[in-house]
Amino acid sequence: MQAIQTQKDDEIDLLKAFQTVRAHTMELCEPLETEDYIPQPTVDVSPPKWNIAHTTWFFEEMILKKFAPAYQEFNSQFGFLFNSYYNSIGTRTRRDNRGDLSRPTVAEVFAYRRFVDEKMCELLAGNLSEELRDLIVLGLNHEQQHQELFLTDFKYTLSVNPLYPVYKKDFALVERGEELSGGTIEITGGIHEIGFEGEGFCFDNELSRHRVYLQDFTIAKNLVTNAEYLEFIEDGGYTDFRFWHSEGFDWVNQNEIAAPLYWQKIGGEQFNFTLDGLRKLKLDAPVCHVSFYEASAFAEWKKMRLPTEFEWEAAADKFDWGLRWEWTNSAYLPYPHFSKAAGAIGEYNGKFMVNQMVLRGASVATPPNHSRRTYRNFFHAPLRWQFTGIRLAK
């Protein structure tokens, strides 16, 4: 696949990388009860069972069926059940139907996983073409994306349960704050190079590297905190149309939005649902689970703005990032010379390049070794179940 480049010199490590990534998914599953693998409370959220089966399906469908000569599929119906959105491969379960399936059981899905792992390890022990290596690396990055979704989706599922269950007692990490140094960074305008370059993996949407002309701009060192966001709320931010995009204000009113997702007022105190259960809101932590509309309205209220994705990338060496995905004011569009791969892999990114906004950085739920300065994440403007925050620019 032309758009993805792997490191040529570390061929020995691909088996180890495979085992490490696959093992991390299993660690994420440890705190779950069997029942937890099933529900899908909203269409954007996938059940854990689906996430762990789908990442396995990717290796079976894209790699084993094509590159492992004698491979016999584990179950001929799983291709239909665990395809996500690849039209090239055939029909698939309706996306909003994933939570309706009690079978195969969780035990069967883990057996499927072990079966595919075994066959993959056999394949990885042999000689691998460059095309195959690229696909395996893509499969691992795909699994890492689903590791983050595993956490964000399951957090959402727990949040709709009036019992407010805890995912993991020692998992406060993902909601942690940051050391606030404060201040801003000044960047001088001119031509900047944007997009991925060098060795290692990147997604096709990070290419090609190209020149962009930027104006002078200022960008904040820190993310906006819960304390600052509370000020916005208390100043009537959600009821003053002047701060909002027209469709953002409609969204606020139709959905009766008055705070970030997971905030809950109980007896006059502000709580926040976390993977460690319902806890008091931590004022100095960066605000989280806000939509693009909210991020943008907050910036307007502050008489600032969100950075573009190009500004963000040009400045990202100069501030800390990785706690929250950061909404930019850039729409998700192709870079110059962007081209889709042939076949199913070509459906990975390109077909989503309309009506979504770019997020940059990474979040506390992003798995290790899965972030870089040129990474382009993207979501629809109203979505909030990712760990999304706000950095201001001017």
Q: Angle of helix 48-59 relative to helix 106-125, nearest 10 degrees?
A: 30
C-alpha angle 201-381-50 in degrees, rounded to nearest 5: 60
Smallest separation (angstroms) from its own copies to the CB of 45? 10
Rounded least distance, CB 302 to its own copies, Å = 14
For residues 323 and 384, which CB has a smaller minimum distance to its own copies in the complex? 384
Q: Closer to its own copies at the Cβ: 305 or 370?
A: 305
CB of 305: closest distance to its own copies in angstroms?
8
Q: How far is the CB of 344 from its own copies (least distance, A)?
A: 10
Chain Cα centroid distance, residue 43: 16
Residue type present at position 196: F
Nearer to its own copies, 8 or 103 (CB): 103
Q: Tell me whether residue 222 or residue 291 sits nearer to its own copies (CB atom).
A: 291
3-class SS at 182? coil
Taking the complex as a whole, the smallest distance from the CB of residue 321 to its own copies amounts, in Å, to 22
Q: Which is nearer to its own copies, 198 or 336 (CB)?
A: 336
Cβ 125 to its own copies shortest distance, Å:
33
Q: How far apart are CA 324 and CA 334, in angstroms?
A: 24
The pairing of beta strand 388-389 with beta strand 325-331: parallel
Q: CA angle, corner 286, sides to 217 and 298, nearest 5?
A: 55
Within a 10 A sphere around the Cβ of 315, how many other Cβ atoms? 24
3-state secondary structure 320-354: CCCCCEEEEEEECCCCCCCCCCCCHHHHCCHHHCC
Tokens of 89: 């491969």
Q: What are the structure tokens assigned to 280, written together?
A: 């008091």
Alpha helix positions (H), the chain: 14-29, 48-59, 65-67, 78-82, 106-125, 130-159, 226-234, 246-254, 292-301, 309-315
Burial class (CB in 10 A: 0-12, 13-18, 19+), 208: middle
Decide whether 106 or 223 has the Cβ nearer to its own copies: 106
Residues that bind its own copies (CB under 8 A): 33-41, 49, 77, 80-81, 85, 87-88, 93, 97, 99-106, 157, 160-163, 165, 191, 210-213, 215, 241-242, 244-249, 292-293, 296, 305, 329-331, 333-334, 336-337, 346, 351-355, 357, 381
Element (H, E) at 269: strand 269-274
CA angle 159, 272, 308 (to 5 degrees): 95
Beta carbons of 180 and 225 less than 8 angstroms apart: yes
Task: Say which residue the tokens 């699994």 belong to.
Answer: 143
Residue closer to its own copies, measured from CB, 40 or 374 = 40
Q: Which is nearer to its own copies, 202 or 297 (CB)?
A: 297
Of residues 296 and 386, the one with the C-beta less far from its own copies: 296
CB of 261 to its own copies, least distance (A): 16
Residue closer to its own copies (CB basis): 67 or 352: 352
**In the complex, what is the shortest distance from the CB of residue 71 to its own copies, in angstroms, rounded to a whole number?**
22
CB of 10 to its own copies, least distance (A): 33
- Give the shortest CB-337-to-its own copies separation in angstroms: 7
